[in-house]
Structure 1
Amino acid sequence: MVNEKRYTLQVLNSLVREAIEAELPDEYWVEAELSECRESRGHCYMELVEKDETSNTPVAKASAKCWKQTWTMVQPYFERTTGQPLRAGMKVLLKVYPQFHEAYGFSWIVTDIDPTFTLGDMAQRRQKIIAQLKAEGVFDLQRELTIPRFCQRIAVISAATAAGYGDFCRQLEDNEYGLQFYPTLFPAIMQGEQVEQSVIAALNQINEHAEEYDIVVIIRGGGSTSDMSGFDTLPLAENVANFPLPIITGIGHDRDECVLDMVSNTRVKTPTAAAAFLVAHLADTLQHLNDLQQRLSFMLTMFKTNFEHQLDQRYERICHAIQQRIVQERHHLELAAQRIELLDPTLLLQRGYSITLFNGKVVRDPQQLKVGDEMETIVEKGKIISVVKV
């Protein structure tokens, strides 16, 4: 062993570097998943991994670097195309060449990134989430909810210091109709890896007092609009889809709908658009009430007019009936007066008849009297008093 050739580590590493440069002189497109991605001094440092499709166990790992000169060009293009920054968990297609440094070891040097590959992977993952939500029967649950007509008590999920939240509140407060709204903020992280956990926590807080609110608004503004990854997760989508109150999303992303947009009740583009939607909704309710008031007023006027006309007609009929009844009753009275006049006893007395009374009662039968009874006989011109003798 003493006679065998020995190398210093630097020399041996140099041999490795020369072998790699000789055997792998070209650039290569490689598919991988980012297990780590960070920037430092304008450079981007990545950790790449390939996982077994069945067990999800890593089968290959490597480090990669994108130097500042290249990174300043590929990063903006990637974010404009995908709508998201490079982040851990993302699948990427990188153009690389190998580099082995005697002091720092092996790494792949990134010279280009194909954002369309990542877009395809994102779309595929999104479709898997959508398929899962549909399989669970919750994908359309939010759209089955009706936004209340008097939607004024608003639970807002947003970063407390976000400019979009301030814009949202000002838009509500300064509305042209003078309508009143009552927003309550539930602060949450709206960018980065903690979005999912933070927004779900805010939803849980609102759910504990759901009867105090009419609607939930999830808004995001004032920061970078590129990182939407936190809104494309299954747990957050499930929470939103199953929430008992209607949810409006306004998270400032024009390019594509995220899964959160798809499962919400109503999707708008920005926080101000969310406020404008709520103002218009309540204004429509006010207009509906005004229309009902006008219709009711018209109906009451018509009813009053018809009622007065009917009263006039009934008054005329009643007056006519009363007049007819008076004529009839007057005729009856006249006939009765005639009959009474014909039955007047004085007329009989004038004809020579007389009326015999005993104790003030007319005597019709002699058997009513006995000897000694005193009778009174009335004739036309006086009275005759007589006593029964026999």
Structure 2
Amino acid sequence: MDALSLYDLNALVRRSLEQCLPDTYWIQAELSDVRTNSTGHCYLEFVQKDPRSNNLIAKARGTVWSNVFRLLRPYFEEATGQAFVSGIKVLVQVTVSFHELYGYSLTVQDIDPTYTVGDMARRRKEILKQLEEEGVLTLNKELAMPRLPQRIAVISSSTAAGYGDFCHQLQNNARCFYFHTELFPALMQGERVEESVLAALDKINSRLDSFDAVVIIRGGGATSDLSGFDTYLLAAACAQFPLPVITGIGHERDDTVLDSVAHTRVKTPTAAAEFLIDCMNDAADELDVLADRLYGGVQSLLSQEYQKLASYKNRIPSAAYRYISDAKFALLAERKDMAQAVTSSLSGHRHRLELLQQRLADASPEKQLARGYSITLKNGKVVKNASLLNEGDEIITRLHKGEITSIVTNESSKK
């Protein structure tokens, strides 16, 4: 039996593939296990998954040689805003090769970034649709921005230039508004963006009463590092966050999913600071308008009151004269009434006195004596009871005219 060595078989496979598949081919696949070595070559795996079960149904080893990779990578990342990393879908031009030692592989010659852009857009659309179906897509946008957003929780890298620009812009605003900022450090590029930002949001959520708004900013990073802001979990967390979320993650071409659910999206960290300053300006301008209206209203009211006061002042002399005249007439009338009342009272009292005088005159002893009555006195005192007299007592009988002196002579006079 003739037997082939493994090498001979592999060589046969290589020659057969080279003869059957001599051209380049455009394939759609997902990147997996992307890594580069010190010489600049990129090694990776292309995979395809079943859309329903998500199970792998195909896999192939891939290579991007350094002379191609140093041109292909920046071109792809600039066009897509997406890093050339595992997990993204690509449309690449490859040649098929087989090596006796390393086996089957695909060598990348070119890439079409528009396919990846379309896939990213589709993925963003799917996330936004899911959030809408869950009823949370616009929750953060519906929150009212505080009239004076001065206490700001900042999610950013502590070393990011954008964070420094943001703080500098706030601290040097033209009207000297005060802002308090507190940094919650997070990774703003790489594969741990989602995890890091979510952790920062959790810390802020535990201190909601300390802040008016949340600002997520990123400055100085490559546009290829934006994929971390296109995740469902991060978008859902921001959409449902109880404070307004402002994003300024430094790109202009497309909104990330995070931008789409945030309360306010601006282009840069500096623009985020300007937005907060503008909110303060609006409130200050409104206060100025209200102050002007208040000043004008007070001036108008004072003018009206001054006019009233002047009118009252002019009316005082005539009112006083009329009041004094009325009082004078009233006093004269009271005086006349009082004189009449006094005269009437004196007349009544005089009449009563005359009656009393007549009654006294009628009751006087002289009047009684003139009528024929007499008065018997003993020792100057009137005798009212004869039994009180003793024999030999001297008594005086007083008549209307004259007196009679008598001596009591017997006891019969006592009967």
TM-score of the aligned structures, taking structure 2 as reference length: 0.82
- Asked if the contact 1:370/1:388 (under 8 Å) is kept, the reply is no
Residue matched to 1:378? none
Report matched runs for 1:194-273 at 5 Å: 194-273=192-271
Cα pair 2:247 2:266 within 8 Å, conserved: yes
Residue 19 (structure 2) aligned to one of 5, 19, 22: 22
Match of 2:153 in 1: 155
- Which residue identity does 2:191 align to in structure 1? E
Q: Name the aligned partner's letter for residue 8 of structure 1.
A: S
* CA distance in 1 between partners of 2:142 and 2:192 (Å): 29
Query: 1:193, 1:340 → 2: CA distance?
Result: 111
CA contact (8 A) 2:229 2:257 kept: yes
Matched ranges for 1:378-389 at <5 A = none
The corresponding residue for 1:5 is 2
> By how many angstroms is 1:75 displaced?
1.6
Partner residue, 2:97: 99
Shift of residue 97, structure 1, vs aligned partner = 0.7
For residue 362 of structure 1, the aligned residue among 330, 335, 350 is: 350
Deviation at 1:294, TM superposition (A): 1.8
Tell me the residue number matched to 1:169: 167
Matched-pair contact (CA < 8 Å) for 1:52–1:58: yes
Paired with 1:89 and 1:242, the residues of 2 have a C-alpha distance of 27
Which one of the candidate residues 177, 180, 197 is aligned to 2:178?
180
**Aligned with 2:141: secondary structure?**
helix
- Deviation string, structure 1 residues 177-220 (Cα, Å, up to 9, x no partner): 11111100001111121111111111010000001000000001
Query: Percent same amino acid among aligned pairs?
Result: 47
Indicate whether 1:124 and 2:122 are aligned.
yes
For the pair 1:38 / 2:35, whether they are aligned, the reply is: yes
CA distance in 2: counterparts of 1:309 and 1:238, whole angstroms: 64
Question: Bigger shift: 194-203 or 75-84?
Answer: 75-84
CA distance in 1, matches of 2:313, 2:238: 67
1:371 touches 1:388 (CA, 8 Å); kept in 2? no
Residue 300 of structure 1 is matched in structure 2 by: 298
Residue 349 of structure 1: aligned partner: none
Residue identity in the other structure for 1:7: L
TM-fit CA distance, 1:389: 5.3
Q: Distance in 2 between matches of 1:53 and 1:99?
A: 28
Q: Which secondary structure does the structure 2 equivalent of 1:16 belong to?
A: helix
Please provide the CA RMSD for this pair. Answer: 2.5
Alignment CA distance shift 1:334-1:33 (3 Å): same
Deviations 1:69-113 (A, max 9, x none): 111222222112111122211111111111112222221000011
What does 1:277-356 align with in structure 2 at a 5 Å threshold? 277-337=275-335
Deviations 1:359-381 (A, max 9, x none): xx51357542356559xxxxxxx
Q: Is the 1:237–1:260 contact (alpha carbons within 8 Å) kept by the matching residues of 2? A: yes
2:106 counterpart letter in structure 1: W
Q: 1:286: how far off?
A: 1.6
Give deviations 1:240-286, integer Å, cap 9, x for gaps.
00000000000011110011000000000011110111112112212
Q: CA deviation at 1:13?
A: 2.0
Distance 1:338 1:57 in 2: 124
Name the residue aligned to 1:382. Answer: none
Shifted more, 224-233 versus 239-248: the winner is 224-233
Contact residue 77 and residue 223 of structure 2 kept, 8 A: no
Cα deviation for residue 300 of structure 1 reads: 1.1
Q: What's the CA shift for 1:6?
A: 3.1
| Candidates 111, 130, 133, aligned match of 2:131 | 133
Q: Which residue of 1 aligns with 2:188?
A: 190
Letter in 2 for 1:295: R
The question of whether the paired residues in 2 share the 8 Å contact of 1:372 and 1:388 is answered with: no
The answer to whether the 8 A contact 2:30-2:47 is kept is yes
Give the corresponding residue for 1:377. Answer: none
Q: What is the CA-CA distance between 1:39 and the residue it aligns to? A: 2.1
Structure 2 segments unaligned to the other structure (5+ residues):
369-415
Q: After TM superposition, give the deviation of residue 290 of structure 1 in Å.
A: 1.9
SS at match of 1:144: coil
Q: Structure 1 residues 364, 115: CA separation in 2 closer, same or farther (over 3 Å shift)?
A: same
CA apart distance, 1:307: 1.5
Q: CA deviation at 1:14?
A: 1.7
CA distance in 2, matches of 1:12, 1:343: 154
**Based on CA coordinates, which of the two structures has the bigger radius of gyration?**
2
- Given that 2:91 and 2:116 are in contact with CA atoms closer than 8 Å, whether structure 1 keeps it comes out as yes
CA distance in 1, matches of 2:229, 2:341: 112
8 Å CA contact 1:372–1:389 kept in 2: the answer is no
Equivalent position SS for 1:362: helix
Distance 1:212 1:315 in 2: 58
Q: For residues 32 and 321 of structure 1, do their structure 2 counterparts lie closer, same or farther at Cα, with a shift above 3 Å needed? A: same
**Partner in structure 2 of residue 276 of structure 1:** 274
Alpha-carbon separation, structure 2, partners of 1:343 and 1:96: 135
1:157 partner letter? I
Identify the range of structure 1 (241-250 vs 291-300) with the bigger mean alpha-carbon deviation.
291-300
